[in-house]
Structure 1
Amino acid sequence: MSAVDLTRRALLGGGVALMAAPVLAGRRDPKVGRSIGLREEGVLAFKGIRYGRAARFERAVAEPWGSAPAKAQTFAPIAPQRGNADLVQSEDCLFLNIWTPDANPKANRAVMVYFHGGAYSNGTVTDPLTHGAKLAAQGDVVVVTVNHRLNALGYAWLKPFGARYADSGNLGQLDLILALEWVRAHIADFGGDPARVMVFGQSGGGAKIATLMAMPAAKGLFHAAATMSGQQVVASGPGNAWKRTQALFAALKLQPGDVEMLRTMPVQQLIDGLGATDPVIGGGLYMGPVLDMTNLPRHPFWPDAAPQSLHIPMILGNTRDETRAFIDPKGPKLHGLNWDNLAARMAPEVKIDLDVDWVVAQYRAQYPAWTPSQVFYSATTAGRSWPGQVIEADERAKAGAAATWVYQLDRASPIDPQRGAAHTDDIPYVFGTLDAPGSMSGTDQGTRATRDAMMRAFTGLAKTGKPGLPDWTPYTVPQRATLVVGDGKVEAVNDPRRWERELWSIGPYVQPGS
């Protein structure tokens, strides 16, 4: 595929124009079932719809879809977590939000269900970057966003304490499955097609999707998937998960067997315990999906791609400069960086165990004009944030799965040039939230063209099982076609980071958290 100019004229002239926002007649607040929504940016919005209820450390149960009117006009509380302290948090957090062009049950629009990032410990879909009005209007789809239980409340491994806690290591995942079951049962009332449900998610949201692809209870609940800088090659084994549970007990000064106190203590006290050091990988205490052999009977992409999801078409994406988002170019890790200390500062950031002095020497030989900072960010991205995507794409290709399309966002932030194309920077392009608080995309012509391309790609997959950029070549081995998304244009390139891919493939990748 040759480079494609993504001016608005070219997009419209190609016969694939994005839908204009529908004109909504009337002034009354829209009502679907018992939910009374509101009109927002040219579409109908329903916020804070309950999809389930759950006791602490127990599997959630579905919320009956009754007939009594209830306002669905504001976001509900988010899951308890150490971050987002300015937002209302509650253990009662099983709510979803819907944006739809109209609530005609005969509309049969494709449905896009979003899971948020923040690993498995933090995050929320109430972030303005992930509000769904613009995507629903411009893409002519129904958008659903889901909050669920996180950290110890969603993933603490308590099964050794008895049958009551049999599902504990995957409760957050089971919440997502419950939400998808709600979508299957009720989304037609909001104009959606339950036979065309696409899940998509960034960072931890993508990892949650990869995990769902290996969970039997999720089979048949979605028909396409897209992950953005988020992979899950392997889950946490029960041994490491138990070490983390013990570390949590120690941080909370509980007796090793006092699970009842953990179950009944104030939630903020429990959340404070997550500040313990992780006994497996260091840093903050990690809680994520556990290989429990019932809800999750195998690893998602090891030793191969989970067979149950090979029929699902998939987009896999990453950004070129992932680690610039969480390793500040102006912060202490980069202060005074030079060739003498580069290897030592880089070592804690990579997840592939290679001799870092040797790695630095390889980069210097390959890219002699690069600065220590350029090597640092390229190596930490390629040795930490990118390998999972390569493994997932390769395994799907080897297994003859349904088509997989891979992209790499290269467009640097026009707001902060030192940021480059960093982790999370593809979110506003897909959602169309270019001017939302927290967006680093800018709003210039190149930004808008990139938004149109990314939104078209994702909505196309939701609608037809293929991205809405017809010349985007599916990923195969050994070609490894990758859509490189630059400033106002996209181009399919075979194996664009081949040298780095081959360098880092010398050592095995260790999934963070496993």
Structure 2
Amino acid sequence: MNGIKRRQFLSQLSLAAVGTAISSKLNASSFLISKPSLVEEFVETETSYGKIKGYRTEGVNIFKGIPYAGRTSGERRFRRPAKLQPWTGVREALTLGAPAIQAPRRNEPEPSEDCLFLNVWTPANDNKKRPVMFYNHGGGFVIGSGGSAGQDGANLARNFDVVVVETNHRLGLLGFLYLDEIAGPEYAGSGNMGLLDIIDGLKWVNKNIAQFGGDPNNVMIWGESGGGAKTSCLYAMPAAAPYFNKASIESGPGVRMMDKDTAHENTLQLFNELNIPVNNWQKILEVPASDLLNMQAKLPFVPPFQEKNKNQGTMRRNAGGFGPVVDGKALPNHPFDPGAPAISRNKPLLVGWNEDEYTFFAWERKDADSFKMDFEGLHKKLEPQYGPDTKKIIATYRQARPNATAPDIFVAISSITMMGLGSIDIAEKKARQNGAPVYLYNFGYKSENKIPGTDYAMGTPHAMDISFKFNNEVPPKNGEPTKPSFFGGNRPERFTASHNFAELWTTFARTGKPAAKNAPTWPAYNLKDRATMRIDTELEVINNRFKEEVEMWRSIGKTLN
């Protein structure tokens, strides 16, 4: 009973919910890539499909909207893309390509089923063999694109001499509808089309990135939120294995994905809602994409991970929603269950989360009440999820954090159960492999921005790390006034924290070991010291952080994610 309630609680905090929030709120902000404002010159380069033209600005060559695979509409819906046809002449790569089907995105083209485009930022097209940072965007499995300005790659390329690549790929129902059991062999892998699209992007990088000054033999995959879950899956997929060398999973630990039985139930539920008999399944190919999007919105979101039923050793069922499927083929196993994937044993890994993940959701939901409660109110708030364990949970947190208020403890509990325990689980399983190192982190720079309707600071909310690790929190140029960051606030100290984050990540991309000039040595995670790097204006290694809290979660049978 209590486990089910916890599961329902966590489902409400799913990455899909994150995606909805980012879509409706951040899209309306300055979080999007704007049109080129200062084009110094146009730049042409060859690809395996033909010549393209990008532009250079402030020391970075930028190419947007490059097609990396063919059509996914029409008879290619739910299937692998059509072969991309070469072009003659010079194709312009100056503006973003269409994002996947979703609600319209401000400053981006109209969403389209034909959405397989990518963007590249590079210091120069000079065959220099820079490390390649291949980013998987967030937004759960339902929204987002490689065109959000918080993840604009220009500063990383300019300031740290790397090449940044970001893709658009199929999402939601059109990217993850599991048809393997009712359609023909042409639809094999249908439950993972969105992931297989990303792999096509990695294949494009392998063939072409040398022309952009990148090293095809030194590719890092990374992603936040839903992008972290996608990265978790790619880390376990045989088709992806030849095309990347290291990975980072940020605030999106995808320990387990959806099993085939649940995915099939979701498919049957969809066909029932559409009044399409399963034996006439082809009719779904005729349904307009807009209608499918409307239907997708009526069905439950898929959670970012699937929690194991401790007593039965099976997955808890949660029909509804669309996300990656453990189909035994494209995704042979759960990414990190029962252990870290053997296929990536020799690939270094970064994994971690933000200290105050939950405040993002409070902001998105206009939840002011959670920040006005006392400890009696905290018990009442947690008891529906944790039942008789509630008293022990609160007591453990009050002992570990004697100066914490009731809202402080609520944020800490919500944040670690959402993203922290799964991140620790991944680090421990990777460490047990005795292969390539794994590094655990917490991002902790505190924003002074208040949650609306409260005097409570957001701290380090979910998604705030995006602009920091992309080094997009930088001082203004030419004496311009400092503009406040959407999440990061207005204090100039954020520029130092952003540089720290970006330097650690780009060094990891270059060498497989995160490091920075002003940082202590970051030890690989092991089961004795459990070293964690806390990222802020100062960088600090903390051994066995949250020891008391994690031991308590284990003692009450809370699986790590």
TM-score, length-scaled by structure 2: 0.80
Q: Distance in 2 between matches of 1:146 and 1:437?
A: 28
Q: Distance in 1 between matches of 2:230 and 2:461?
A: 20
Local SS of the residue matching 2:326: coil
Match for residue 50 of structure 1? 67
Q: Tell me which of 397, 412, 420 is aligned to 2:431.
A: 397
The superposition leaves residues 158-203 of structure 1 with CA deviations (integer Å, 9 ceiling, x where unpaired) of: 1121223221111011001100000000000111110111111111
Task: For residue 277 of structure 1, report the CA deviation from its aligned partner.
Answer: 4.1
Q: Tell me which of 223, 234, 246 is aligned to 2:245.
A: 223
User: What is the RMSD of the two structures over their aligned residues, measured on CA atoms?
Assistant: 2.6
Task: For residue 60 of structure 1, report the CA deviation from its aligned partner.
Answer: 2.1
Match for residue 323 of structure 1? 358
Task: For residue 479 of structure 1, report the CA deviation from its aligned partner.
Answer: 1.0
Local SS of the residue matching 1:479: coil
Local SS of the residue matching 1:52: coil
Q: Distance in 2 between matches of 1:142 and 1:338?
A: 49
Match for residue 389 of structure 2? 355
Among the aligned pairs, what percent are the same residue?
33
Tell whether the 8 Å contact from 1:210 to 1:300 is kept in structure 2 after alignment.
Answer: yes
Q: Distance in 1 between matches of 2:493 and 2:348?
A: 28
Match for residue 96 of structure 1? 118
- TM-aligned CA distance change 1:262 to 1:320, over 3 Å: same
Q: Tell me which of 455, 464, 473 is aligned to 2:502.
A: 455
Counterpart residue identity of residue 132, structure 1:
G
Counterpart residue identity of residue 477, structure 1:
L
- Compare 256-265 and 381-390 and name the one that shifted more: 256-265
- Compare 362-371 and 200-209 and name the one that shifted more: 362-371
Tell whether the 8 Å contact from 1:156 to 1:287 is kept in structure 2 after alignment.
Answer: yes
Match for residue 45 of structure 2? 32
Match for residue 334 of structure 1? 370
- TM-aligned CA distance change 1:347 to 1:85, over 3 Å: farther
Query: How many equivalent residue pairs?
Result: 482
Q: Tell me which of 141, 144, 155 is aligned to 1:120.
A: 141
Local SS of the residue matching 1:483: strand
Q: Distance in 2 between matches of 1:474 and 1:327?
A: 34
Residue pairs, 1:58-457, within 5 angstroms:
58-64=79-85, 66-82=87-103, 84=105, 87=108, 88-105=110-127, 107-163=128-184, 164-278=186-300, 285-328=320-363, 330-331=366-367, 334=370, 337-346=373-382, 355-416=389-450, 418-434=457-473, 439-442=486-489, 444-457=491-504
Match for residue 10 of structure 1? none
- TM-aligned CA distance change 1:342 to 1:243, over 3 Å: farther
Local SS of the residue matching 2:497: helix
Local SS of the residue matching 2:495: helix
Q: Distance in 2 between matches of 1:102 and 1:120?
A: 33
Counterpart residue identity of residue 430, structure 2:
R
Tell whether the 8 Å contact from 1:434 to 1:442 is kept in structure 2 after alignment.
Answer: no
Match for residue 25 of structure 2? none
Tell whether the 8 Å contact from 1:383 to 1:504 is kept in structure 2 after alignment.
Answer: no
Tell whether the 8 Å contact from 1:274 to 1:284 is kept in structure 2 after alignment.
Answer: no
Task: For residue 104 of structure 1, report the CA deviation from its aligned partner.
Answer: 1.1
Q: Distance in 2 between matches of 1:248 and 1:184?
A: 37
- TM-aligned CA distance change 1:252 to 1:356, over 3 Å: farther
The superposition leaves residues 357-413 of structure 1 with CA deviations (integer Å, 9 ceiling, x where unpaired) of: 542343345445432211211111122221110110000111112111111011111
Q: Distance in 2 between matches of 1:62 and 1:31?
A: 23
Higher relative contact order (CA 8 A, sep 6+): 1
- TM-aligned CA distance change 1:262 to 1:360, over 3 Å: farther
Tell whether the 8 Å contact from 1:226 to 1:316 is kept in structure 2 after alignment.
Answer: yes
Q: Distance in 2 between matches of 1:433 and 1:223?
A: 25
Q: Distance in 2 between matches of 1:95 and 1:353?
A: 48
- TM-aligned CA distance change 1:309 to 1:255, over 3 Å: same
Q: Distance in 2 between matches of 1:347 and 1:278?
A: 24
Counterpart residue identity of residue 44, structure 2:
K
Tell whether the 8 Å contact from 2:176 to 2:192 is kept in structure 1 after alignment.
Answer: yes
Tell whether the 8 Å contact from 2:235 to 2:341 is kept in structure 1 after alignment.
Answer: yes
Local SS of the residue matching 1:198: strand
Q: Distance in 1 between matches of 2:328 and 2:551?
A: 33
Q: Distance in 2 between matches of 1:503 and 1:162?
A: 47
Match for residue 496 of structure 1? 545
The superposition leaves residues 59-103 of structure 1 with CA deviations (integer Å, 9 ceiling, x where unpaired) of: 124525544211100001111125747742111110000011110
- TM-aligned CA distance change 1:160 to 1:498, over 3 Å: same
Match for residue 477 of structure 1? 527
- TM-aligned CA distance change 1:190 to 1:280, over 3 Å: closer
- TM-aligned CA distance change 1:371 to 1:428, over 3 Å: same
Q: Distance in 2 between matches of 1:66 and 1:232?
A: 38
TM-score, length-scaled by structure 1: 0.87
Q: Distance in 1 between matches of 2:268 and 2:352?
A: 35
Tell whether the 8 Å contact from 1:323 to 1:422 is kept in structure 2 after alignment.
Answer: yes
Task: For residue 481 of structure 1, report the CA deviation from its aligned partner.
Answer: 0.3
Local SS of the residue matching 1:407: strand
- TM-aligned CA distance change 1:61 to 1:194, over 3 Å: farther
Q: Distance in 1 between matches of 2:135 and 2:330?
A: 21
Local SS of the residue matching 1:302: coil
Q: Note the residue ranges of structure 1 that are not aligned, 5 or more in a row.
A: 1-25
Local SS of the residue matching 1:220: helix
Q: Distance in 2 between matches of 1:459 and 1:113?
A: 12
